[in-house]
Amino acid sequence: PPRRWRPGKMGLGGRVGCLACEDAPSDAESSQSSGSSSGSDDCPTAGFRTQAWQRHCYWGGSVCPDRAGRLDRRTSRLARLVVADIVCIAVWVATLVLLWRPNRIQVCIHFFCSSFMNMLGAQLLMATLGYVNFLTRGLQVSSSILGHVEQYIVMSWTILLGQSGYTLMSNESHAEPLTSWCYKAAVAFFAVTVFFRVGQSWAYLKALELHIQLLERSFGEQLGSKHVRRLRYFFALANACAAVSQMPNRLAPSNLAGFREPVTLERTLDVVVVLRQLVVVVLVWRTFLPLRQAVSSPEVVRIGKYAAAEAAWSQRVLGRLRLSIMVPSLTDAAIMFVTFVTGWSLNMRDCFLAAHDAGTALVETVCLLRVLGLFQEQRPDVQLQRPDEADDAESARRNRCPSAFRAGAQPRSAAWRATMKELALRSIEVVELVEFYGRLGTDLMPNFDPRRSTTNDVVRQAVVPVSRVEGGGVAYVTLLDKSTRPAECLVTHTWSNLFVDLVAAVASDALDLKEYAAVEHALAEGGQGKIIQRLRLAGVARRTYWICALCINQHASICSGFSHEPPVGTAARARWDVLRRDTVTGEVFRCCTCAQPKVFNDRPDACELNKFDDMMALMASRAGFGHVIAMDTAFALLTRVWCLAEIAEAAGSGIDQRLVVHSEESVDREYDSLKRLDIRTCEASRIEDKEAILQRIPDHDLFCEHLQSLIMGTDGLLRKCMNREHELRSVAKLVKRVGKKGNSQNSLRAQSQEPPTAAPPATRTRSW
């Protein structure tokens, strides 16, 4: 049934938006029926509700109330800004009508520059922030950066207001300059202008400093934010001193009454402004220099075609950002230099400076908006077709689809198809998965530790024992007392990842969350009951998933032994030994003694380990079928041959893919190590598996480039989970990944190993 947002109590911690079916029971009813207390402060899901739920809950295209409230507040603030501009224009229109004189041509010019230019700048800001909030839906621009940009806009139009008032009132006060209200108003407008001019410079440099800090945090090196901070304080003091030194000259009655040549002080201040802006230009140039040098290195081209395209894109973006930051300073310096050279009279100088203020404000506003991401260039969508294959329809299809594992053209026997269909019909509901997790640590796998036990441990010590039946064994999902329903999603994961992370990733996907850290914390602290309640309130408790550890009959493959023992003293031998021992106790797993016949690729029709490509193609024909990639914290999933093969096959089959990560921090931590994804350097439990997969890929280089694009590209899996982050941050992290000397894909912590298998005939090609 259709679902929508309905506000309701989340049990603990106040009212927030929550996912709920229209016909679902209220939280109060649920808590009463379950007997749970709604007032306890030690609930393990408190952090889950307050952190991830409010931040990520989203269903069916509807924005949660908490997020909608933030957007409404931002819209209201922008509306107030525009209303203030309109009031400013209205006041000065009325003033010009009441005090109009034929000799006010300079006042008209001043009014046009200050009002029209300022209104245009404010409208640009409103359009940009609306674009940021409503179209990108979550661009991670720091709120402090946006706040300082808004402060800059407000102070800019306030300065123009003060300049307009000062010019107008100074022309009115020439008759009785010392006693007239016009003279007093001119003094007041000058004071307002001085105050906000200091604030304008402060806000602009603060926004620049925050942007450089954003680059530094992502790039991992100091780029000059501390120098900008010193300049910010210095410029604030310099502007204040300049204003104090100008007061006697600007407010002298003789200067207000007529025209005269500017004093030496005015021209000296012009020179100071020019020098100050040139210092900013040099500082900005040096800030971006290390970044551009990193991505222009010849080493980047050797990494791969896609990495080279990313580096070229980064160079263009960095050049545009550097230009956007430098142009306002260059514009200000050029105008002040012209003012110094021309030496106009003081009153004409005021009109010229008013035009300068309006023009500079407009230029700086547009440049700030470009830095914030307006008109931003998308990440490269590289076309990887070979020149000699451009007209080949089949090659074009292969280039659009990274899958190299299709076997639909091969004839399949009836027995093969029967086994494949039986596999495709197996599934486990997400609530059943959480309930199974809740049984661990009791009589089922007593030594289970959620912070240490891996999926491999759970399969060997929980799934295999509980799924053993008289005469052999079955898949765990076969034991569940329910009618067979096909899976709605297939899960790709690594067996060396923590089992609690797998359960949390599946539950988070059911709740439409992009990160599973909060759910994992709740499960690890024993809060599976609350998670089940949330799943039921959201109406997704019966969503079904295909998970190899629970849907494959382990008794027909791995239960009775381990894979072939590698030579003693090798790294492979050390990994093999780790995988046959319990992570918590260090003891070797007990092998199952069931009588279930072991079926490998020597009997391909009955084997359940060699049909993932056909099974995924069959599942892809179902409406709404999806593919979930449960990424581990170390990103070791991307070092496993079979995991990459499943990702590629799902993409080639047109299956909707969703990446669920532990947290954005884990992505930040491992992002720079994803310099090059190469399936040839990935690992498998058995070398025969890897060789069989590589033999089925016609062009390894082309496949790897497609794989890189699939995961890191404009619409790649990793880009989707990073929630359209700020462009500066994205560029800095990309430069760190492809430009700096560091670890390649081989340096990913390959802690995730597919579980070993019993010693099978040499013809087997798949191990789980």
Whole-number pLDDT of residue 142: 47
Q: Which domain holds residue 474?
A: 414-747
Collapse the DSSP code of 49 into the 3-class scheme (helix H, G, I; strand E, B; otherwise coil) and give the result: helix
Let me know whether 5 and 119 are in one domain.
no
**In this structure, is residue 407 part of a structural domain?**
no
- Given the DSSP bridges, would you call strands 428-429 and 62-63 parallel, antiparallel or unpaired? unpaired
Neighbours of 665 (CB within 10 A): 12
636-675 residue pLDDT tens:
888 888 788 888 888 877 888 888 999 877 877 776 566 5
More confident residue, 447 or 263: 447
Let me know whether 186 and 128 are in one domain.
yes
Let me know whether 697 and 646 are in one domain.
yes
**In this structure, is residue 70 part of a structural domain?**
no
Let me know how long the chain is.
Answer: 768
Let me know whether 367 and 429 are in one domain.
no
**In this structure, is residue 273 part of a structural domain?**
yes
Residue after which a domain boundary falls, among 312, 345, 372: 372
Burial of 410 (0-12, 13-18, 19+ CB in 10 A): exposed
Whole-number pLDDT of residue 522: 93
Collapse the DSSP code of 640 into the 3-class scheme (helix H, G, I; strand E, B; otherwise coil) and give the result: strand
Q: Which amino acid is at 391?
A: D
- CATH for 357: 1.20.1070
Rounded-to-integer distance, Cα 662 and Cα 182, Å:
65
Let me know whether 124 and 236 are in one domain.
yes
Element (H, E) at 119: helix 118-130
**In this structure, is residue 757 part of a structural domain?**
no
Q: 116: which DSSP letter?
A: I
Rounded-to-integer distance, Cα 744 and Cα 747, Å:
5
Let me know whether 439 and 584 are in one domain.
yes
Rounded-to-integer distance, Cα 178 and Cα 252, Å:
9
* pLDDT band at residue 332 using 50, 70 and 90 as cut-offs: confident
**DSSP annotation string for 59-102:** ETTEEPHHHHHHHHHHHHHHHHHHHHHHHHHHHHHHHHHHT--T
**In this structure, is residue 49 part of a structural domain?**
no
Residue after which a domain boundary falls, among 372, 403, 431: 372
Rounded-to-integer distance, Cα 477 and Cα 552, Å:
9
752-761 residue pLDDT tens:
334 433 333 3
Let me know whether 464 and 321 are in one domain.
no
Whole-number pLDDT of residue 373: 57
567-591 residue pLDDT tens:
888 887 888 888 899 999 999 999 9
**In this structure, is residue 103 part of a structural domain?**
yes
More confident residue, 574 or 749: 574
Q: Chain centroid to CA 122: how far?
A: 28
236-291 residue pLDDT tens:
787 777 777 766 665 555 544 443 444 566 677 777 778 878 887 887 787 777 77
User: What is the average per-residue pLDDT within 281-306?
Assistant: 70
452-495 residue pLDDT tens:
999 999 999 999 999 999 888 999 999 886 666 889 999 999 99
Q: 275: which DSSP letter?
A: H
Rounded-to-integer distance, Cα 168 and Cα 544, Å:
73
**In this structure, is residue 607 part of a structural domain?**
yes
Residue after which a domain boundary falls, among 352, 372, 392: 372
Residue 256 contacts residue 178 (beta carbons within 8 Å)? no
Instruction: State the chain's mean pLDDT as an integer.
Output: 68
More confident residue, 546 or 123: 546
Which residues 6+ apart lie within 8 Å of 697 measured at CB? 404, 679, 703
Which residues 6+ apart lie within 8 Å of 32 measured at CB? none
Let me know whether 366 and 465 are in one domain.
no
Let me know whether 160 and 11 are in one domain.
no
* pLDDT band at residue 139 using 50, 70 and 90 as cut-offs: very low
Let me know whether 363 and 426 are in one domain.
no
Let me know whether 355 and 441 are in one domain.
no
Q: Which of 179-183, 441-445, 573-577 has the lowest mean pLDDT?
A: 179-183
Please report, rounded to a whole number, the percentage of residues in the chain having pLDDT higher than 90. 18
Let me know whether 510 and 593 are in one domain.
yes
Q: Is the pLDDT of residue 200 over 80?
A: no
pTM of the model as a whole: 0.59
**In this structure, is residue 477 part of a structural domain?**
yes
Instruction: Determine the angle formed by the axes of helices 264-295 and 225-250, rounding to 10 degrees.
Output: 160
Rounded-to-integer distance, Cα 660 and Cα 517, Å:
10
Whole-number pLDDT of residue 218: 62
Looking at the 3D structure of the chain, how many domains does it have? 3
